[in-house]
Chain A
Amino acid sequence: MRDKAKLKMKVNGKTHSVEVEPDASLLEVLRDQLNLRGTKKGCEEGECGACTVLIDGLPVVSCLTPALKCQGLSVETVEGMEDGKKLHPLQEAFLETGAVQCGYCTSGMLMSSRHLLEKNTNPTAEEIKIGLSGNLCRCTGYVQIIEAVLSAVKKIKESEK
C-alpha cells in the first residue's frame, strides 16, 4: 500500500518532486517540505489571506488548497519575487510607504497585489481595495498598503519607459 503520493510541481520556476501526504495542503508542503516559510499560516481556515500564493498566475489560499491539486502546475510564492538581489517594484513600494508593519500579512498581500497588477496595470484605489479584500491586515489599516500598490504602478511604468 502506498501511503505517500508523488507530487511534481513548479515552484518559483523550479521543478520539485516530493512525496506528500495525500491530504496535505499546499501550505504544508511549501513550508514543511520545500522549506519556503515566507508564506504564512494565519488561520488555516481560508479567512485571512496570509497564505496566499499564485497557482498558474491565479491567487489561492494555500491552506485550503490540496497539494495534489498542484500536480503539474506552477506555483509562485514571495520567495520568487526578487530578481536576483533586486526587489520587485511592489516589494520596494511596500518598504517605502510603510505598508509593512509586523510583516505577517505581507507575503500574502504581495501575492494578491501582484495578481491585481497583472490583471489591471492601472488600478484605482477603489479597485485595489477590492483586489486586496481577501487579505486581512490588523496593523496598517490598509491605507499605506493601498498607497504602496499605487506607487508600484508608477515604478513599473517608469521602468518600462
Chain B
Amino acid sequence: MRVYTTIGQSVTKVDGREKVTGRTVYAGDEVFPDLLYVKVARSDRPHAEILEIDLSSAKNIPGVVGVWTAHDLPGANATGTRIKDESVLCSKRVRRVGDPVVLIAAKSLRAANSAKESVSIGYRDLPAVFDPEEALRPEAPRIHESGNLLFEKKMIKGDVEAALSKCAYVITNTYRTQRIEHSYLEPEAGTAYMDGKKLTVKLPTKHAHFEQDELAKILGLDRKDIRVICAPIGGYFGDKQGLSPGYYAAIVTRLTGFPAQMVYERRESFEVSTKRHPYIIQMTTGADKEGHLEAVKVDILVDTGAYASYGPSIIGRGVVHAVGPYRVKNIHVKGRLVYTNNPVCGSMRGFGVPQVAIACESQMDLLAEAVGKDPFEIRRINCLQAGEENASGQTLKASVGLTECLGEVERIQESLPPHPREIDPQYLTGWGLAIIYYGIGLTGLPNPGVAQMSVEPGEKVQLCVGVGDGGQGAFTTLLQIASENLGLSQGDFNLLSADTLTTPNSGTSTASRITYVVGRAVTEACHHLAGQVGKKVAANWGVMDLVFEDGHYHCGVRKISFREAVDTLVNEKLLAEGIFDPPTTPTDKETGLGSPYATYAFAAHAAQVSVDRETGQVNVLRIIASHDVGKMIHPVHVYGQVQGGAMMGLGYGLLENVIVKKGRILNPGFRAYLIPSSMEVPEFHISVVECPEPTGPYGAKGVGEPSLLPTAPAIHNAVARATGQYLFDNPVAMEDVWRALS
C-alpha cells in the first residue's frame, strides 16, 4: 500500500485556531463606521393581494435612513435558484407567510426594528391551498401562472406491472415525511459596502459566483462591479444560497452608498429559510420467493411550498435514488412537485433522498419478515456489487463498498455486549438496519470543479478555489490534497477561497462534491504546476526525462525538491489551472435512465433503540455506522461528518418537525423545534471502508450527506423490531408508538 505523508492524517484544521479563540469574523460580526442596519417587513398572510402600503410613520422614526418598496428597487425583482419565481420585494401579491414587502435601513438596530413594526400593509386575502393533493385539483387556487404542478420526473425500466403480477411477495405502503429546518447555529447574515467603485458583499454562501450573477441582475449593475466574498460559514447543511440578508444589505448599499448589514432573527430564519421537503410516498415492492427484488413502483408527491427554490433538482435526485442501492430490473418511479402556500422547501443535506430512504428501507425489512430472512441477509442478496447496473441503468464500475459496510455493521453488532436496557423490564429494545447509496456531484449535469495555483520564488504557493468551508473541513482537505501532490505541508500554502474577485468559479458546495470534484481539480492543478516547474528544472539540468515523485524531481541520482526548484530555478510567477468535470450523462427525458453520477458513496447504519413500555418514549442507545468513502483524507473530519450526520438523522427520525398550520409555522425557534442536544448522543461505533474511486483524488468520494441518510430508516426499523409494528410516518411520534404498544 502507498504510504502518504498527509493524506489519511488528521492534520490541524487550517481555520481552527481562529475559531477556538473567537477571532473568526462571520458576516454578522463585520464592523463599519456609518453602518446601516437592515430589516425587512414581511407578509403575515399565506396568500393575499397587497392593496396599500403605508410607510409614513416608519419614515418619521428618528434614525431611519430609508424605507423602500418594490418600486424603488434598482434592478430585476425576480430571483430563484432554478426558476426566477420569487420577488425580492413583493409588490402586488404575497404567496406565503414571510414574503418580503418593505425594506428598511436605519442607523441603529432599534430604529430599524421600530420602523419595521410601524409599517402598515393592507391586504385582501386570497383563497389559499396548503395540501399538495388539493393543490393539484382543477378548482384549486393557482399560486403561479404556470399552474400548481411545478415539475414531474419519472424513471422507467422494464415492465413493472407485469413483473409485479408474477412476484411471490408484493408489499405496498404509504409513507409520509415532515418538513425540517436546517437549524445552523449561525442565522443568515450579510454585510455590504463600497470598496472604491465595487459593491462588495460578504455573506456565508455555498456558491459565491452564483450570488454575483444574481446580484448583478437585482442591483442593475454589471457583474464586474460586484464582488462577492464568502464569509466564514456558521453551518449551512445545503442552505445559504440565494435571496438572503446579504442581498438586502447590498440593495441598501446600492441605494444609499453606505455600508449595510442584515442578520436574520432566529424566528425570521425559521420562517423564511427553506425546509426539507415533506414527501408522500407510495411504494410497492415485489420479490420472488427467495426475496430477490423483481419490481419496485414508487409514487412521490412533494409539497415544495410557495416557490420553486431547488425543488426540481431535489425531486430529480429523489426519483433517481428511490429504489435504493439495489439491483432491480423493473422500475416505475414518478415524482411530482407541487406549489402550495406553505413555507418554501429547498436544498437540505441529503437533497431529496432522506425521505425515500425511509420508505425504501422499511419496505426491505417488511420483505425480510415476509420471506423469513434476517435484515442483513435480505440486503446482502439484493445490494449492488461492482460491475452491476443500478436503477438508472448505470453500470457501477468500481468503488462499490456496500457489502463490506454491511459486513462491518454486522460484525460490530455481534461483538457488542447486551445493553443494560435489554434486561430492564421497563423497556423494549430492538436493532434496526438500513443501507443507502448516494450519487456524488450534480445529477446528470456538467459540474466542473476548478482550482488555480501560482508560485514564485520565495513566496508561498497560492491555491485558489471558489468554494467556502461549511465547517466540514473542506479547506484542510483541499490543502492536504495539494500538499501530498507537491510534497509540501499546510504552512507552505496561501489559500484563497470563494471570492469572485480572486478565485475561479468551482461550482456549488453541494452534493457532497467538494472533496471529490474540487479536490480532483486541485490534483490536476498541482500536476500542471509541477509540470511547468519541471520544465525549468529539465532545462537547467539539460536533461529530457525527469520524474516528479514524492515532491521531488529526479533524474538518475540528481534530485531537487519542488520548493527548492521554485526558489532557485524559477525566475517568474508560474500559473496553473486544474479542471475536473465528473463524467456523467444527462438522464433520458422519458425514461429517466442514464449515468447521472460519476461515483456513489455507500453506507450502512444499525441503530439500537429502547422503547418505554408506559409512555412510548424512544431512545437511541447505539448507532453503528459504516461508510465507504473511497479514501479517508482526514479521519477526524470524516468521523465528525459521520457523527454529525447521524445525529441529524436521529433528529429527523425522532424529534424534528416544523409544524405548519394554514401556512404559518407554529414552532419557529429552538424552544419548540427540538434538535438533538448532547443528552441524545448514543454510543457510537464507526467503521470506515475504503473502496477507492479511480477518478477521485487519492481515491476519495464524499461523506457529508451519506452520513445522515441511513440513520432515520435504521431507527424506524429498530422501533418496529422493538414494538412489532411498523410506523409509516416520519418522525416516529411518541403517541404513535404508544398506540402501537396498547
Contact = CB atoms under 8 A, between A and B. Distances in A.
Interface string A26-56: 0000010001111111111101101000000
B20 to A, nearest CB: 4
Contacts of B24: 103
A62 interface: no
Contacts of A122: none
Contacts of B110: 21
Contact of B681 (A43, A94, A142): A142
Interface stretch (B50-58, B488-496, B638-646, B722-730): B638-646
Interface string A93-133: 01111101111111100100000000000000000111011
Nearest to B681: A142
Interface string B227-258: 00000111101000000000000000000000
A-B complex: 6 closest residue pairs judged by Cβ atoms: A38-B22, A102-B471, A103-B19, A141-B647, A101-B471, A104-B234
Given A133-B679, A138-B183, A142-B647, A95 B23 contact: no
A79 B24 CA distance: 11
Contacts of B185: 40, 42, 48, 50, 102, 104-105, 136-139
Given A45-B266, A103-B471, A106-B20, A95 B233 contact: no
B646 A141 contact: yes
Contacts of B471: 100-103, 139
B559 interface: no
Given A43-B266, A136-B677, A146-B681, A98 B648 contact: no
A100 B636 contact: no
Interface string A139-158: 11111111000000000000
Nearest to A106: B19
Nearest to A35: B31
Nearest to A39: B22
Determine which residue in A98, A128, A142 has the highest number of CB atoms from chain B within 10 A of its CB, and name it: A98
Interface string A72-86: 000001110110000
B12 A145 contact: no
Nearest to B623: A141
B740 interface: no
Nearest to B472: A101
A21 B640 CA distance: 42
Given A45-B266, A45-B671, A50-B185, A98 B21 contact: no
24 contacts: A21-B110, A38-B21, A39-B22, A42-B185, A47-B671, A48-B185, A82-B21, A94-B20, A100-B19, A101-B470, A101-B644, A102-B185, A102-B186, A102-B234, A103-B16, A103-B24, A103-B471, A106-B19, A136-B183, A136-B670, A138-B644, A141-B646, A142-B643, A146-B678
B637 interface: yes
Interface of B: 10, 12-13, 15-26, 28-29, 31, 110, 182-187, 232-235, 237, 263, 265-266, 470-473, 636-637, 639-640, 643-648, 669-671, 675-679, 681, 684
A138 to B, nearest CB: 5
A119 B23 CA distance: 27
Given A38-B22, A136-B675, A143-B643, A104 B681 contact: no
B632 to A, nearest CB: 13
Name A's interface SS: loop
A14 to B, nearest CB: 16
Nearest to A134: B677
Contacts of B675: 136, 138
A81 B21 contact: yes
A144 B24 CA distance: 20
B640 A144 contact: yes
A18 interface: no
B266 A78 contact: no
A137 B186 CA distance: 10
A102 B678 contact: no
A134 B233 CA distance: 22
A23 B185 CA distance: 25
Contacts of A142: 643, 647, 676-678, 681
Nearest to B643: A141
A138 B643 CA distance: 11
A140 B640 CA distance: 6
Determine which residue in B22, B29, B186 has the highest number of CB atoms from chain A within 10 A of its CB, and name it: B22
Given A47-B670, A101-B471, A144-B639, A38 B23 contact: yes
B13 A95 contact: yes
B244 to A, nearest CB: 16
A5 interface: no
Given A48-B266, A97-B636, A102-B185, 8 more contacts: A43-B670, A95-B16, A98-B636, A137-B185, A138-B184, A142-B643, A142-B677, A144-B639
A82 B26 CA distance: 20
A156 B51 CA distance: 66
Nearest to A110: B20
A35 B19 CA distance: 17
A47 B133 CA distance: 36
Nearest to A128: B678
Given A47-B671, A129-B678, A102 B470 contact: yes
A44 B31 CA distance: 20
Contacts of B186: 40, 42, 102, 104
A103 B185 CA distance: 9
A104 B28 CA distance: 12
A103 B670 contact: no
B47 to A, nearest CB: 29
A135 B16 contact: no
Contacts of B235: 101-102, 104, 138-139
A45 B233 contact: no
Contacts of B639: 98, 143-144
B655 to A, nearest CB: 12
A42 B26 CA distance: 12
B22 A37 contact: yes
